[in-house]
Chain A
């Protein structure tokens, strides 16, 4: 090592010592900074070593991708039998929707993608028309899927699989937000009677499990309808799921309303705005912005809760999977089914959660 001497002010910029930058330093800092950390790191690495290789073997390497039945799969390897999922894919997607009408489902899926994209991304081309289209989408899709007015009607008990999840999820999401806003405003209302009814409704719904409400929908709701009327089971489920989600939505939005400084309400009053105008122009835009994480969480919860319809006999993806397991050709492949359905839900829910984060950051107006 040559020891140079420098004149004052001429010392060159030397790189930082190797023990505070680079991968080695990162590893030391993040994995081995203290004895406890070393122990934890070793434990985690050991755990991953025990778990990951067998999991990858089972999932991919030893898995069978084609085959006619369970024995075919087992002959190819000891891993997962994806041939089963492959064969049942159409059932998982459409349920029992008539084959010759499935183009309607595909078209609805396609339109859904356009509508969602228009809502989610503000650089969408011709976004204004996109938004009109998104507002009309539930009706168009309803007509496409159910039929009537020129299309062959398809009874709703033929809906199933992902189609059913999306129908329930999207209807619930689209309907629960406005109802939730009204309930939240009602709960904050200056009119005692309105407030009381809103509180009773919200607390009642939040106090009972969704599955009990679904049982109510499937077993006793018919008794409360006018004699001679009957509601389609899917419609009853939609009503219950929407009511359930709107009570939670109301609480989330109430949180947003309460977080607004009183000055905002007073300023709106001072401007001479009437109640609805002040809500629409001043209060709600801010309250909703604050509530975005909560709203999206409620959406995710609702979306996951669609699996409960399985218990009252509707065939969502989980229901389709379990019904398929009863098939003699494929018995005993439960893990494949559960994993497949889990991946479907994980992808959709995780995407929603990430979008909520993105939106939060975008709408952050820097008042922090």
Chain B
């Protein structure tokens, strides 16, 4: 009986977790695990593979933060969330940080009490339609049925777009991506709308991707970024600079493979030295050690590697860098310098 009782106690205590009321950084370090809120599954961004290991672009950022803070990119607990639960999970303390292709908006920042990290993906809402419809522009969609996944800014953009252009439409709103795709593939809707990155992944999952096309119009700005709870600036800084470090690593040509070598000793480039901790005390300023950025980069590579491995041209999503190219290559990805 004693054994059973203690087993029950252990089981119960692992279900209820108490967190000290210290800063998030201390909490995470004490726990030895980072709780990262991600989607329930969006191919390329965050989805469990056949063995239940989470993979994806957003997941890569979670692992980078965990590596910087805890020294190990595997010490992450992924908390899958729907559009409805994601902010609650963060606000209630279940999650420490959120990387869930989330659009930064004023009301989320101010009213939902979030602090956004730097943008890690510049996206915009588009439309996926059948080629057989014979249309080439979203302005021809008057009277169409449009499938939308709720819980995002998508339905707001859609309502605004059709209103401004004086067009009618029938919204078919659905909670989950799978059901949305089911509706679209069953021809319940003429068009499927979501962020262009999501459209690419949706199109790739259709039976015959070549029968569908993404219309050229992008009807909204969707700067996607991570977020943390309002009010813990030290923790927000860590998230912010890990994202910046990943972006800067690409600019400086530091990759997952060569980062360790370059961090062996200080080189000629002071930017590289500061980033990899061979010069200055950037890590200490953040409350971490000086190898924080090195570990973050080693966890999943720099921005280009994260992009190419998860959503780039060689993956099923086949997304181009476009706006997300480094500012040196004509994109708008431009991180504040580490100095």
CB-CB under 8 A for A139 and B7, given A99-B51, A157-B80, A332-B207:
yes
How close is A87's CB to chain B, nearest CB, in angstroms?
A: 10
| Contacting residues, chain A, for B16 (C-beta < 8 A) | 229-232, 235
A331 at the interface (CB under 8 A from B): yes
The stretch among B177-185, B263-271, B321-329 that forms the contact with chain A is B177-185
| Contacting residues, chain A, for B176 (C-beta < 8 A) | 322
In the complex, the answer to whether A149 meets B6 with C-beta atoms within 8 Å is yes
B156 at the interface (CB under 8 A from A): no
- List which A101-154 residues lie within 8 A (CB) of chain B: 136, 139-140, 142-143, 146-149, 153
The stretch among B18-26, B216-224, B299-307 that forms the contact with chain A is B18-26
In the complex, the answer to whether B81 meets A142 with C-beta atoms within 8 Å is no
The stretch among A42-50, A220-228, A268-276 that forms the contact with chain B is A220-228
In the complex, the answer to whether B15 meets A156 with C-beta atoms within 8 Å is yes
In the complex, the answer to whether A331 meets B6 with C-beta atoms within 8 Å is no
Query: Which of B21, B51, B92 is most buried by chain A, counting CB atoms within 10 A of its CB?
Result: B92
Query: Which of B15, B19, B78 is most buried by chain A, counting CB atoms within 10 A of its CB?
Result: B15
How close is B211's CB to chain A, nearest CB, in angstroms?
A: 13
How close is B47's CB to chain A, nearest CB, in angstroms?
A: 9
| Contacting residues, chain B, for A235 (C-beta < 8 A) | 15-16
In the complex, the answer to whether A219 meets B88 with C-beta atoms within 8 Å is yes
| Contacting residues, chain A, for B179 (C-beta < 8 A) | 322
In the complex, the answer to whether A140 meets B4 with C-beta atoms within 8 Å is yes
| Contacting residues, chain B, for A223 (C-beta < 8 A) | 92
How close is A309's CB to chain B, nearest CB, in angstroms?
A: 12
In the complex, the answer to whether A313 meets B204 with C-beta atoms within 8 Å is no
B84 at the interface (CB under 8 A from A): yes
In the complex, the answer to whether A158 meets B52 with C-beta atoms within 8 Å is yes
In the complex, the answer to whether B82 meets A143 with C-beta atoms within 8 Å is no
| Contacting residues, chain A, for B178 (C-beta < 8 A) | 322-323, 325-326
Query: Which of A143, A153, A156, A223 is most buried by chain B, counting CB atoms within 10 A of its CB?
Result: A143
How close is A98's CB to chain B, nearest CB, in angstroms?
A: 7
Give the interface size class of chain B: 35 or more
A328 at the interface (CB under 8 A from B): yes
B287 at the interface (CB under 8 A from A): no
The distance in angstroms between the C-alpha atoms of A99 and B51, with both chains bound, is: 7
The distance in angstroms between the C-alpha atoms of A146 and B8, with both chains bound, is: 10
In the complex, the answer to whether B77 meets A331 with C-beta atoms within 8 Å is no
A38 at the interface (CB under 8 A from B): no
In the complex, the answer to whether B92 meets A148 with C-beta atoms within 8 Å is no
Which of B1, B175, B181 sits near A326, CB closer than 8 Å? B181
In the complex, the answer to whether A97 meets B17 with C-beta atoms within 8 Å is no
In the complex, the answer to whether B19 meets A229 with C-beta atoms within 8 Å is yes
A218 at the interface (CB under 8 A from B): yes
How close is B54's CB to chain A, nearest CB, in angstroms?
A: 9
Which of B7, B10, B15, B316 sits near A232, CB closer than 8 Å? B15
The distance in angstroms between the C-alpha atoms of A222 and B87, with both chains bound, is: 12
In the complex, the answer to whether B77 meets A96 with C-beta atoms within 8 Å is no
Closest to A227 in B: B21
In the complex, the answer to whether B21 meets A228 with C-beta atoms within 8 Å is yes
Which of A95, A139, A334 sits near B4, CB closer than 8 Å? A139
Closest to B7 in A: A143
B206 at the interface (CB under 8 A from A): yes
The distance in angstroms between the C-alpha atoms of A54 and B110, with both chains bound, is: 59
In the complex, the answer to whether A313 meets B6 with C-beta atoms within 8 Å is no
B213 at the interface (CB under 8 A from A): no
The distance in angstroms between the C-alpha atoms of A323 and B50, with both chains bound, is: 12
B281 at the interface (CB under 8 A from A): no
In the complex, the answer to whether A328 meets B204 with C-beta atoms within 8 Å is yes
The distance in angstroms between the C-alpha atoms of A283 and B52, with both chains bound, is: 51
| Contacting residues, chain A, for B40 (C-beta < 8 A) | 313, 323
In the complex, the answer to whether B10 meets A219 with C-beta atoms within 8 Å is no
How close is B275's CB to chain A, nearest CB, in angstroms?
A: 33
In the complex, the answer to whether A334 meets B182 with C-beta atoms within 8 Å is yes
Closest to A158 in B: B52
| Contacting residues, chain A, for B81 (C-beta < 8 A) | 313
In the complex, the answer to whether B205 meets A331 with C-beta atoms within 8 Å is yes
In the complex, the answer to whether B316 meets A311 with C-beta atoms within 8 Å is no
23 A-B residue pairings within 8 Å (CB atoms): A70-B207, A99-B52, A136-B1, A139-B7, A142-B7, A142-B8, A143-B11, A148-B14, A157-B78, A157-B79, A218-B88, A219-B88, A220-B88, A228-B18, A229-B18, A230-B92, A232-B16, A232-B17, A313-B80, A313-B85, A322-B176, A323-B178, A331-B207
Those 9 A-B pairs whose CB atoms lie nearest each other, nearest first: A222-B92, A96-B52, A143-B7, A148-B10, A142-B11, A232-B15, A139-B8, A235-B15, A149-B10
- Sample of 20 further A-B pairs with CB below 8 A, known A146-B10, A313-B82: A96-B48, A96-B52, A97-B52, A99-B52, A143-B11, A146-B14, A148-B11, A148-B14, A158-B52, A218-B88, A222-B94, A223-B92, A228-B19, A229-B17, A230-B16, A232-B17, A312-B82, A323-B40, A323-B41, A328-B205
Binding site for A on B (CB under 8 A): 1, 4-8, 10-11, 13-21, 40-41, 43, 48, 50-52, 77-82, 84-85, 88, 91-94, 175-179, 181-182, 185, 204-207, 316
